[in-house]
Amino acid sequence: MSFFILGFFTGLSLILAIGAQNIFVIEQGLKKQFVFIVCAICAFSDFLLIFLGIFLFHYFESFFSPFAELILNILLLLFLIHFVWKKIKSINTNFEINQKNQTASLVSIIIKTLGFTYLNAHVYSDTVFFLGNFSKSFLINQKLSFGFGATFSSIIFFFTLGFLSKFLSNYLKSNKVWRIINILIILFMSALSIYVLINILG
């Protein structure tokens, strides 16, 4: 499998969830308030955090003993199991969107976007820890390809969410749509869990 494609679908699986940041992007899209700026900040932030994780694990890779690598792989597996379990529990999740068109300044929107992004603990566990840890055994060109694939999924996701929010919001309110999305994510992340488990046992 192409490492770019692997990065794309892994990144998409992590980001495709109902969260405060995603709902905020949809709301800004519906209100047509600084949509490009909001989407660009979210996507660029993911790019920074994804490659921070990849290069941190790449730099410290030479210091890892076999035992340390085993511990990291076990933590990676536990992360995946927890992620899949949360998806199973939230398989019928729905959400509400605030469509009140309140006037907001560019500065306040930027501050809100940065807050929803960098004050969210999950963004660090998903990008820096998980993607960095998952790609630690790849060759450097494979890591770069994987990182760009994950970044591309973030760009596609946020700009689609922002600029097609009116169209998508009708579907995203449907439990059936989210059930299908969550099932696909569960299957993909379960396959990654098996891959990590094989590496641990091997």
User: Does position 166 have pLDDT exceeding 70, yes or no?
Assistant: yes
The arithmetic mean of pLDDT across residues 146-150, rounded, is: 97
User: Does position 23 have pLDDT exceeding 80, yes or no?
Assistant: yes
CA distance 107 to 114: 11
pLDDT at site 102: 66
179 within 8 A of 91, measured Cβ to Cβ: yes
Q: What is the mean pLDDT of the chain?
A: 87
Q: Bigger pLDDT: 65 or 43?
A: 43
CA distance 142 to 2: 9
Q: Bigger pLDDT: 61 or 114?
A: 114
CA distance 100 to 30: 9
DSSP 138: S
Q: Where are the domains of the chain?
A: 3-65+93-173
The pTM (predicted TM-score) of the whole model is 0.84
Q: With b meaning 16 or more CB within 10 Å and e meaning fewer, what string describes 111-144?
A: ebbeebbeeeeebeebbbbbbbbbbbebeeebbb
Q: Bigger pLDDT: 148 or 171?
A: 148
The arithmetic mean of pLDDT across residues 27-31, rounded, is: 86
Kindly state the percentage of the chain with pLDDT values over 70: 91
